[in-house]
Every structure is written in structure tokens, then in C-alpha cells.
Amino acid sequence: MKNLKVLSILGLTLTLGFGSSAAFGYGMGISTFPLEAEKKVLSAEVTGIVSNGSGLGLQARYTQKINEFSAVDAGLGIAGGERSARLFAGYDYELFPDYENQPRTSIKAFLENSKEFGTRRNILGLAPTVSKGFSFWGQEAFPYLSLPYGISLDGTKNSYQTTISANLGITGIIPAEQIGSSRAITANAEVIVGLKDSFSAVFVGLGYPIE
């Protein structure tokens, strides 16, 4: 019942956002990070597109671990440049866990509504992802590689195109005692390389756990 409620809220949020023209969102976020079941994190991300339609912006993302195998996220943001409007939601499902020499493998389904170069598009896609935990200076972090593939539907021209990108990132924890906080902060950084009808960008974010 809790899972159904969360998915319903995300669906409603995305539906309401379809009419917006001042928000955008993208990237893998922390959906691959090994959160505990039912853990919730609210993240703030600085976004920078460095290819066509370049621009800087800020992004907010809500992530919730539903159970041992799955997580959902949703968010929006504001930015300059020609890619000025986007809202998104995603569902990540773990196929194989991070165990000994085996990397974690998951598939993430995502839905985006975006305004790019004056045209509004709906994007449906899947993002296969592999990640693995490593120790860096005594702290565990989780590099990942994802290859999002989407179908972008142009409602004004009744046409579509496929989009492909390569996303390379890392997630980890900043211990609470290092930043004078009562709770540890989740951190993530991601580089996106546009391969087909996509864009290249850099994202950096911090996430705070919420009750």
C-alpha cells in the first residue's frame, strides 16, 4: 500500500508538471546508491549543460528507497539556455546486487516532460546501469555507468526521435562529523556525454535525509 501511494504521488506530480514551462530535470541522481529500505533523501543539484543549448541551473530531486530492490525519484529545476523546462520521474529496479566481484546491475525506467529550443517534448526511456562500491580514503563510494536510451515525442509536429547518452558518476556519504551536521549528507557528481540527439553536461549534488 505504501508503494502504491508513493507511485500515485509521483504520477500526480508529473501530470501537474506537464503544463509547466519553467522547470527541468535530468541525470541519474542517487537512485543507484544503497539506501536503506524506506529511506528518503531530498537533494539539491547544480546543473551545467556544456553542449548545444548550454546553460547553468539548479535542480531539486526527491529519492525514496521502496524496498531492497527498488527506488523511485522525481524532481524539477530552473535554468538558463535553450533547454529551459523539464520535469521528471524514474523507477530503478535492481537486477543483480553488488556482491564480492560482481557489480550492481539495475534498469531504470524514466519519464520526462521537457521544453527544448521552444518545443515541448515527452521522453520515455530505459537506463541500464552498473555500479560498484569502493573505498576511497576510508570512505565507501559508488562509481556508476549508465546508458539512458529514450524516445522523444514532439507533440507539435507529431514526430519522434531516439536519444542516447553515456552517464558516468559517483555517489557517496559525507560523514556528519565532518560538516557539523546531525546527519550524514549524500553527495553525487555526474558527467553526461551526449551520443545521439542528447546533450553533454556536468551535475553536482548534495542530499539530506528526511523523515
Cell of residue 152, nine digits: 522523444
State residue 26 phi and psi, 5-degree precision: -170, 180
pLDDT in tens, 80-120: 766 666 789 999 999 999 999 999 999 999 998 877 666 77
Q: pLDDT tens digit string along 29-86?
A: 998 899 999 999 999 999 888 887 677 888 899 999 999 999 999 999 777 766 666 7
End-to-end alpha carbon distance in the chain: 18
Residue 132's domain comprises 2-210
- The predicted structure's pLDDT at residue 85: 66
What's the total number of domains in the chain?
A: 1
Of the listed ranges 40-49, 150-159, 195-204, the least confidently predicted one is 150-159
pLDDT for 17 beyond 60: no
CB 156 within 8 A of CB 119: yes
When mean pLDDT is compared across 134-138, 191-195, 202-206, the lowest value belongs to: 134-138
Tell me what pLDDT residue 117 has.
66
Cβ atoms < 10 Å from Cβ of 118:
9
Compute φ and ψ for 9, nearest 5 degrees. -65, -45
- Read off the pTM: 0.82
Residue 142 has pLDDT above 60, yes or no: yes
CATH code (residue 36): 2.40.128
- pLDDT over 70 percentage in the chain: 83
